[in-house]
Amino acid sequence: MNKGASFGRRDFFKGACLAGFMVATAKLPAVAEGERPKFEVGKRGAHSRLATSYAVVDIGLEKPFSVLHISDTHLADAYPDEHPDKVAAAVRRTKGFGERQEEALAESLEWARHNVDYVIHTGDLIDFQSRANFDLVRKYWGDALFGSMGNHEFYSYLKKGGTGRGEEYKNQSWEMLKAAYPVDPRFASRIVNGVNFIAIDDVFGSVQPDQVEKFKAEARKGLPMVLCMHVPFFTPHIELASYKFWRRTGKKFVGRPDAARPLKEGSDLWNQRNDPTTAGFIAYLKDEKLLKAILSGHEHITMEERFSPTAVQYLVGGNFLFAARELLFV
Ligand SMILES: [Fe+2]
């Protein structure tokens, strides 16, 4: 037995022993908030707080590469001279997300620079439209941003009409988003080492015919494809996890079957759409052998679940919580 193998064996037994000390979480004592130790930064330097998880996407590539997938940063800034509703939202929403959104993004990108080949953001990079937020996007991403929009990219947080839903509502924002983001907010494709990354907007739970057509045109290129979009497709275990995380209010998915878990009255039924275009797209994707992975966010949890015979759907947790996932494409 070589040295490496014996180390592995010892580690295994250490793990087995630890299992004997495991207690049911229900038996853990409750500790009041003020009695818990404060977070201490370790020795990881500029990215000390980044909570990275990892996954391997096996496509059979000649040239493997890595991607940092982040989502849901929720930058929430406004300049003092912006609309008072936005200035108020900046205070309220910055506090609500833990006041560390910009740091989390900066640390993620710093880490990405040194450790992975590419970075993809799957939406809600900003919490609402403001000059200050768009300046932050430019500051941290320059021209390097690739990914999809989130529902918050379409919100202005003005008291009148500041949030909405549906295609008509989105029409107010396309030009603004095109000017602010160096990526087509509705449909974009980048080919990296022979893999076609396709970012589409699905933020209100549906896709549109022009997006489906463009996707199928990309498929005709014959390359392995990775679909990047903010709101995930319904898969049963991700939905269950989301249901717990969001305190049983029900949460947003694309193509959620009517027969799935009942939603609390008044919850987000609007983005559980299963219109013919979206349903047709899902049925097509389930059979599309070139589809190798789906990257999404929105739920603020890190999880993955098989979507089709060839593709797993990967969700990454809220970047405002310092979550990020490295995907190794091999
Ligand atoms: Fe979202």
| Ligand 1 centroid – CA 300 distance (Å) | 8
Pairing of strands 65-70, 323-329: antiparallel
Fold of 49-329: Transcription Regulator spoIIAA (3.30.750)
| Ligand 1 centroid – CA 157 distance (Å) | 14
Residue 197's contacts (CB-CB under 8 Å, 6 or more residues apart) are 120, 146, 189, 190, 191, 225, 226, 228
Could you read off the pLDDT of 28-37 as tens digits, one per residue? 667 676 776 5
| Ligand 1 centroid – CA 19 distance (Å) | 37
Task: Give the residue extent of every domain in the chain.
Answer: 49-329
| Confidence label for 198 from pLDDT (cuts 50, 70 and 90) | very high
Residue 186 has pLDDT above 60, yes or no: yes
User: Could you count the other beta carbons within 10 Å of the beta carbon of residue 280?
Assistant: 13
Residue 1's pLDDT is 37
| Ligand 1 centroid – CA 1 distance (Å) | 51
CA 300 – CA 174 distance, rounded (Å): 25
Could you read off the pLDDT of 134-169 as tens digits, one per residue? 999 999 988 888 999 999 999 999 998 888 888 899
CA 321 – CA 303 distance, rounded (Å): 15
| Ligand 1 centroid – CA 149 distance (Å) | 9
Range scoring the smallest mean pLDDT among 42-56, 81-95, 134-148, 279-293 = 42-56
| Ligand 1 centroid – CA 122 distance (Å) | 9
Average pLDDT score, the chain: 86
* 22, 129, 154, 304, 328 from 135: Cα distances, Å: 48, 11, 16, 33, 31
| Ligand 1 centroid – CA 209 distance (Å) | 22
Residue 283's pLDDT is 94
